[in-house]
């Protein structure tokens, strides 16, 4: 776990961080309220003798005591979706509203897409995009299993995403020219998934990070351009590396007309502020409004999440 030693300087309780990274993650499901209420899903689990614990920050996110969710009736009916606990955060930061037009730029396999559809009450238009065609079939499978019908799936490089399939630059009345909100759940070095995949860091290198940072910047910039003024863009990763987090935000703050906005996760979920300095680089002070999620704070995977507003 060499790469994680880099973060000793960011954490006064680094030993607790390291110990948490060595513990396996509990199996977690999110209730899909498009198909069943939280009470109903819980009662069905109770009736089948599936033991779980409700997370103290989200009534629809349940930690299972044992077996995965794949073997219960509520899962079969699409009332539940297996999703890492911390991964429920960005959709909440995005706060999509019913009837809006929303873009999920890096959507596959669709955990966050389906959560966004749920928050939109399956109304409005949700565009789920991914450049990996193989992963898109998983996205479609998951969304349909969960009963989502407001999703259009596209297969584009998000860095130069085109709204042409939706009638942009035409006179058609149904055309879409901009999004109300966009989520960039970027490809990243995945350091924060170490509890789920113990070999997540086997291929870690600074070179790899440098390569991926360019993609992250490109996708986030395109998301800001494709979102209407006053709209919301959320940037998230499952990694700790400031190069892929605060540095990407800092870059986009300089290149595009946008600002980071304060956003608070639900009560009971503890996060740390974004860092303004790393390896001799200084970042825009507003990156402190971003949230770092360390595994030992809430016993989850690691994560990063920031909410931006697009200016005129």
Ligand X SMILES: C[S@@+](CC[C@H](N)C(=O)[O-])C[C@H]1O[C@@H](n2cnc3c(N)ncnc32)[C@H](O)[C@@H]1O
Active site residues: 238
Among 185, 243, 244, 250, binds ligand X (CB under 6 A): 185
* 3-state secondary structure at position 64: strand
Among 121, 157, 256, 309, binds ligand X (CB under 6 A): 157
* Count of residues near ligand X by CB under 6 A: 19
Token pair 């999920």 in the structure block, residue: 104
Q: Which positions lie near other proteins, rule CB under 8 A?
A: 33-44, 46-48, 70-78, 122-125, 128, 133, 136, 140-141, 143-145, 147-155, 165-167, 170, 172, 174-176
Angstrom distance (rounded) from CA 306 to CA 291: 6
Which residue, 153 or 293, is less far from other proteins as judged by CB? 153
Contacts of 84 by beta carbon, 8 Å cutoff, 6+ apart: 25, 28, 111, 196, 300, 301
Asked whether position 209 contacts ligand X by CB under 6 A, the answer is no
Find the shortest distance in angstroms from Cβ 96 to other proteins.
Answer: 13
Which residue, 33 or 288, is less far from other proteins as judged by CB? 33
Residue nearest to ligand X (CB): 106
Pair of tokens at residue 279: 């390896």
Asked whether position 158 contacts ligand X by CB under 6 A, the answer is yes
**What number of CA atoms fall less than 13 Å from residue 199's CA on the CB side?**
1
Asked whether position 111 contacts ligand X by CB under 6 A, the answer is yes
Among 187, 192, 274, 295, binds ligand X (CB under 6 A): 187
Which residue, 133 or 207, is less far from other proteins as judged by CB? 133
Question: Among positive and negative, which fits the CA dihedral 23, 301, 271, 28?
Answer: negative
Asked whether position 86 contacts ligand X by CB under 6 A, the answer is no
As to burial, measured by CB atoms within 10 angstroms (0-12 exposed, 13-18 middle, 19+ buried), residue 223 is buried
Report the helix count and the strand count for the chain, using DSSP H and E. Answer: 9, 15
Pair of tokens at residue 147: 């009963």
215 binds, among ligand X, other proteins, none (CB under 5 to 8 A by kind): ligand X
| Terminal alpha carbon distance of the chain | 44
* Binding site residues, ligand X, CB under 6 A: 87, 106-112, 130-132, 135, 157-159, 185, 187, 215, 219
């Amino acid at each position: 776990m060499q790469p994680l030693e880099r973060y000793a300087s960011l954490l006064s309780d680094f030993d607790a961080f390291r110990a948490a990274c060595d513990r396996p993650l509990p199996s977690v499901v999110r209730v899909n309220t498009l198909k069943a209420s939280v009470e109903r899903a819980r009662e069905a689990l109770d009736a089948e003798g599936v033991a779980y614990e409700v997370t103290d920050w989200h009534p629809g996110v349940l930690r299972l005591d044992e077996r995965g969710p794949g073997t219960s009736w509520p899962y079969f009916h699409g009332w539940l979706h297996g999703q890492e606990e911390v991964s429920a955060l960005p959709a909440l930061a995005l706060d999509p509203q019913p009837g809006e037009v929303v873009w999920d730029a890096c959507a596959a396999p669709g955990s966050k897409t389906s959560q966004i559809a749920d928050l939109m009450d399956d109304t409005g238009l949700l565009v789920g995009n991914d450049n990996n065609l193989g992963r898109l079939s998983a996205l479609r499978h998951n969304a349909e299993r969960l009963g989502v019908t407001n999703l259009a799936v596209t297969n584009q490089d998000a860095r130069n995403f085109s709204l042409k399939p939706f009638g942009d630059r035409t006179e058609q009345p149904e055309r879409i020219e901009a999004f109300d909100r966009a989520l960039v759940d970027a490809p990243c070095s995945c350091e924060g998934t170490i509890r789920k995949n113990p070999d997540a860091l086997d291929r870690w290198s600074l070179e790899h990070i440098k390569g991926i940072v360019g993609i992250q910047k490109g996708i986030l910039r395109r998301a800001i351009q494709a979102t209407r003024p006053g709209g919301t863009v959320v940037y998230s990763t499952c990694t700790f590396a400031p190069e892929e987090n605060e540095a990407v935000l800092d870059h986009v703050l300089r290149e595009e007309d946008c600002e980071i906005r304060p956003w608070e996760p639900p009560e009971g979920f503890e996060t740390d502020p974004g860092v303004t300095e790393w390896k001799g680089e200084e970042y825009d002070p507003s990156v402190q409004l971003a949230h770092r999620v360390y595994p030992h704070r809430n016993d989850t995977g690691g994560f990063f999440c920031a909410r931006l507003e697009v200016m005129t």
